[in-house]
C-alpha cells in the first residue's frame, strides 16, 4: 500500500565532508542525517580487540546532547553494522561512524519535548541508510549492504492500514510500529517492533518491509524489468543504494 | 616447592597436559560450549550448555512481592544468579508545577480508543513513569562503581521506559487526583444532587478537575547479575506495579495542597492492564573467529547467562501477552539485532517459546 510519504523519493549525496574517510548525507520522509566514517584507524586500548575491528557508532541529535535514547540507537546500529562490516579483516582497529541528525519532521499535535527517553522508530531507517552509504563512501569492506525501513499499522475508519515511512502523527496513533532491516542477500538483519500485534500481522509487516528494502526486480540479460505494480510499491532501497553509488562513481570518473 | 616436598613423601606430580573442565571452560569458553552442545555421542549425552541447561531451557523464576516496607510496591525477581529488586514509589505532582498543562475538557465525550491514547500521552508528556536502573552495585565484576552509567544500563532503561509506554501497562486514571468544586463554603461534595438542582451554567463549574498526579518512581537494583538483565528487570517492573497500592489522596481547597490518608484500608491498588512477559535468547555460532559459511550450525540459547552472552552476537527479545480475551497470543515487542541467523521462520517459532515462558512467569507471579 502506498502512503503519501512514500511518494517523496529518498535523496542522498556521497562524500559531502572533505576531511573524513567517507561521508554521506541522506534525507527521506522528513529526516535528514549526515554521517562521517573514519576507519580503519587505531583503536583505544580499552576498545582494542585482538580478533576483530571495533565499530564505534555515535548518534548526535538535532538539538541538545544525546541521552539514553541515543545510546540505545547506537547499540542497535553498532551490533547490526558490525555484522555486515568484515570486522575480522581488521583486528585491533577502530571504525568510527558519526551520525548527525540534522532535520526531523515536526509534529503539530504535541508540544514536543527536547529530551525524550522513549525509542524513536521512525529515525532508525534514516540513520541506517546514511551509515551504510557513508561506509560505502569510505570503502570499508563489507559482506553485504543493508537497508532498513519503518512500517506502522494505523487504524483508520475501523480497518488496519499498513503505512511505510510513517509520519510522527501516524506513529502516535499507530497500533504497532516496526523497523526491519535486510541485507542485500535478503536476510533479516534487524527487527524492532513495539505495539500490539499477532504473529500473522508481523508476517504481513515482514513482507511489506522486505519489498521496500530489497524487492528484487528480476534482472534478465542486464535489463531490469520493472513492473508497474511493483513500481508503485514505494522506493526500493537496495536499488536506491546501488544507483546512488553508481552515479557517484560516474561523477568521480568523468575525466577518463 | 619446599612445602610440596615436605607435605608429601612422593615427588611432585607431573604437570598434567589436560585441563579440568572448569579450567577449560574459563580459558576457552567458545570451544567448551561448542563441545558440550555437540557431544560426540548424542545418544548417551544429550546436547546441553555449560551451565547444564538444554538449549531451550530457561532458568526457574522466583518472584517475591511486598518485600520493601517503605515503597508503595516492590518485587524481588530471581532467575538463576540474576537477582533484581524493584521498588515503586509514588510522589505527588501538582498540576500547577507542570509547565504547559492542558486538561482534556471533553474527555467524557470521546470514544474509548482515543481516550486510552490520550491517557498514554498524558503519561508521556508529564513523565509520570520514571524508571531507573542501577547496575553498579557490585553485582558483577564488569560493572565498576563510581563510573558514569554504562551503555548497557542506558539501553536497558530505554527499553523498559519504551515498553512501559507502548504496552500501556499503567492506567493513567489511577494516577490522577481529582477534585470536584463544591458550591458555597460548606465543604460538602455536590456530586449526588448536581443533576436536580444545578443550572446549566453551574454544571460547567461542577466538572471535576485534575489537581495533581501521582508520579511513579520505578527503581531497579541488580543484586546479582548473571546475564539476561532485561527479562528479569521487566518481570520485576510488572510484578512491582501489580503490587503497588497508593494511599487515598484528595485535594484540600483550603490549604491548596494534596493530602493523603494514612489509613491502610483506604489504599487503592494500581490498575495494571495486561501481563506482558519478556523472553530473550542468544544465537551461538559454530565458528568463533572465522567467517561464517552456509551450512554452519547454530544454537538458540534461551535465557543466556553472562558467559553465554559474551559469546553470542545475535540476540532476540520478545515480549508477549496471552492475558487478553480468548487467551490469544499478542506480541507486544520484538527486538532482534546483531546477525542474520534468526529469519522469519525462527522468529515465528520463537513466539511459541515465548508463550511457554509466559506461562511459567505468570505462574510464578501468582
Task: Note if the bond before A229 is cis, omega within 30 degrees.
Answer: no
CB B221 within 8 A of CB B75: no
Cα radius of gyration (chain A): 18
| Tens digit of each residue's pLDDT (9 = 90 or more) over B217-272 | 999 999 999 999 999 999 999 999 999 999 999 999 899 889 998 888 889 999 99
Dist CA A32 CA A104 (whole Å): 7
CATH number for the region A11-109+117-250 comes to 3.30.230.70
> Which residues fall within 8 angstroms of residue B314, CB to CB, at 6 or more apart?
A83, B282, B283, B336, B337, B338, B339, B340, B341, B342
CA–CA separation, B263 and B13 (whole Å): 72
Residue in this structure with the C-alpha cell 542468544, named with its chain if needed: B282
Domain ranges within chain A, ordered by starting residue: 11-109+117-250
Lowest-confidence range among B11-25, B250-264, B289-303? B11-25
Among B44-48, B248-252, B257-261, B352-356, where is mean pLDDT lowest? B44-48
Chain B residues within 8 A of A195 when measuring between CB atoms: 166, 332-333
- Which residues face A54 on adjacent strands? A94
Contacts of A74 (CB under 8 A, 6+ apart): A57, A58, A59, B151
Domains of chain B as residue ranges with CATH? 27-57+277-365 (no CATH), 61-269 (3.30.230.70)
Smallest CA-to-CA distance from B188 within B249, B247, B253, B248 is with: B253
pLDDT value, residue A221: 43
Q: Is A237 helix (H, G, I), strand (E, B) or coil?
A: helix
Identify the pLDDT of residue B144: 87
Rounded CA separation A164/A186 (Å): 18
Q: Do B336 and A191 touch (CB under 8 A)?
A: yes
Residues in B touching A194 (Cβ below 8 Å): 162-163, 166, 332-333
pLDDT at site A227: 47
B64 pLDDT exceeds 90?
yes
Question: Under an 8 A CB cutoff, do B348 and A51 touch?
Answer: no
What is the pLDDT, as a whole number, of residue A111? Answer: 54
Residues of chain A with pLDDT below 70 are: 1-7, 107-117, 216-235
- The ipTM is 0.88
**How far is the C-alpha of A26 from the C-alpha of A147, rounded, in Å?**
13
How far apart CA A67 and CA A243 sit, in angstroms, is 35
Angstrom distances, CA of residue A214 to CA of A134, A149, A155, A185: 19, 10, 26, 8
Contacts of residue B125 in chain A, CB cutoff 8 Å? Answer: 110-111, 113
Q: Closest approach of chain A CAs to the CA of B336, in angstroms?
A: 5
In sequence order, the β-bridge partners of residue A159 are A156
Instruction: Provide the pLDDT for residue A216.
Output: 58
Task: Give B86-122 pLDDT, tens digit per residue.
Answer: 999 999 999 988 887 877 654 544 444 566 666 777 8
Judging by beta carbons within 10 Å of its beta carbon (0-12, 13-18, 19+), is residue B24 exposed, middle or buried?
A: middle
CB contact at 8 A, B180 and B206: yes
Amino acid at each position: 500500500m502506498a502512503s503519501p510519504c512514500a511518494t517523496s523519493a529518498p535523496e542522498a549525496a556521497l562524500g559531502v565532508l572533505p576531511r573524513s574517510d567517507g561521508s554521506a548525507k541522506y534525507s527521506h520522509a522528513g529526516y535528514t542525517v549526515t554521517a562521517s566514517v573514519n576507519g580503519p584507524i587505531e583503536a583505544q586500548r580499552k576498545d582494542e580487540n585482538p580478533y576483530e575491528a571495533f565499530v564505534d557508532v555515535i548518534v548526535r541529535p538535532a538539538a541538545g546532547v544525546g541521552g539514553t535514547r541515543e545510546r540505545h540507537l547506537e547499540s542497535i546500529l553498532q551490533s547490526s553494522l558490525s555484522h555486515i562490516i568484515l570486522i575480522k579483516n581488521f583486528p585491533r582497529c577502530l571504525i568510527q561512524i558519526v551520525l548527525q541528525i540534522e532535520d526531523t519532521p515536526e509534529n503539530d499535535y504535541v508540544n514536543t519535548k527536547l529530551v525524550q527517553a522513549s525509542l524513536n522508530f521512525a529515525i532508525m531507517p534514516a540513520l541506517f541508510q546514511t551509515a551504510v552509504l557513508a561506509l560505502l563512501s569510505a570503502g570499508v569492506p563489507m559482506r553485504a549492504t543493508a537497508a532498513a525501513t519503518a512500517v506502522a499499522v494505523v487504524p483508520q475508519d475501523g480497518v488496519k492500514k499498513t503505512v511505510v515511512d510513517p509520519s510522527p502523527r501516524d506513529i502516535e496513533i499507530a497500533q504497532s510500529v516496526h523497523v526491519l532491516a535486510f541485507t542485500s542477500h535478503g536476510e533479516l538483519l534487524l527487527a524492532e517492533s513495539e505495539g500490539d500485534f499477532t504473529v500473522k500481522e508481523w508476517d504481513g509487516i515482514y513482507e511489506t518491509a522486505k519489498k521496500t528494502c530489497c524487492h528484487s526486480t528480476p534482472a534478465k540479460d542486464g535489463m531490469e524489468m520493472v513492473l508497474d505494480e511493483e513500481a508503485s510499491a514505494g522506493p526500493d532501497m537496495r536499488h536506491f543504494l546501488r544507483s546512488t553509488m553508481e552515479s557517484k562513481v560516474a561523477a568521480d570518473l568523468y575525466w577518463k | 616447592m619446599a612445602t610440596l616436598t615436605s607435605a608429601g613423601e612422593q615427588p611432585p606430580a607431573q604437570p598434567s597436559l589436560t585441563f579440568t573442565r572448569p579450567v577449560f571452560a574459563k580459558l576457552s569458553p567458545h570451544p567448551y560450549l561448542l563441545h558440550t552442545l555437540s557431544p560426540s555421542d548424542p545418544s548417551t549425552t544429550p546436547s546441553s550448555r555449560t551451565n547444564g541447561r538444554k538449549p531451550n531451557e530457561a532458568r526457574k523464576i522466583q518472584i517475591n512481592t511486598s518485600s520493601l516496607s517503605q515503597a508503595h510496591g516492590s518485587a524481588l525477581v530471581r532467575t538463576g544468579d540474576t537477582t533484581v529488586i524493584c521498588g515503586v514509589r509514588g510522589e505527588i505532582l501538582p498540576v500547577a508545577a507542570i509547565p504547559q498543562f492542558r486538561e482534556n475538557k471533553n474527555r467524557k465525550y470521546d470514544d474509548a480508543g482515543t481516550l486510552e491514547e490520550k491517557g498514554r500521552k498524558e503519561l508521556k508528556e508529564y513523565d509520570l513513569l520514571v524508571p531507573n536502573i542501577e547496575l553498579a552495585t557490585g553485582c558483577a565484576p564488569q560493572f565498576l562503581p563510581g563510573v558514569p552509567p554504562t551503555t548497557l544500563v542506558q539501553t536497558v532503561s530505554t527499553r523498559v521506559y519504551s515498553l512501559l509506554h507502548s504496552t500501556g501497562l499503567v492506567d493513567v486514571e489511577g494516577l490522577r487526583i481529582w477534585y470536584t468544586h463544591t458550591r458555597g463554603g460548606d465543604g460538602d461534595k455536590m456530586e449526588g444532587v448536581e443533576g436536580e438542582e444545578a443550572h446549566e451554567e453551574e454544571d460547567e463549574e461542577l466538572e471535576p478537575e485534575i489537581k495533581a498526579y501521582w508520579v511513579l518512581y520505578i527503581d531497579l537494583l541488580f543484586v546479582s547479575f548473571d546475564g539476561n538483565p532485561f527479562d528479569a528487570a521487566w518481570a520485576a517492573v510488572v510484578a512491582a506495579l501489580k503490587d503497588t497500592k497508593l494511599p487515598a489522596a484528595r485535594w484540600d481547597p483550603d490549604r491548596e495542597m494534596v493530602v493523603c490518608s494514612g489509613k491502610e484500608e483506604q489504599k487503592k491498588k494500581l490498575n495494571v492492564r495486561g501481563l506482558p512477559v519478556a523472553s530473550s535468547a542468544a544465537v551461538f555460532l559454530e565458528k568463533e573467529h572465522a567467517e561464517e559459511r552456509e551450512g554452519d550450525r547454530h544454537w538458540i540459547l534461551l535465557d543466556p547467562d553472562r558467559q553465554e552472552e559474551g559469546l553470542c552476537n545475535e540476540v532476540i527479545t520478545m515480549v508477549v501477552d496471552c492475558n487478553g480475551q480468548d487467551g490469544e497470543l499478542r506480541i507486544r515487542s520484538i527486538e532482534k539485532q546483531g546477525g542474520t541467523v534468526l529469519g522469519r521462520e525462527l522468529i515465528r517459532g520463537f513466539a511459541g517459546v515465548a508463550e511457554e515462558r509466559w506461562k511459567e512467569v505468570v505462574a510464578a507471579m501468582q
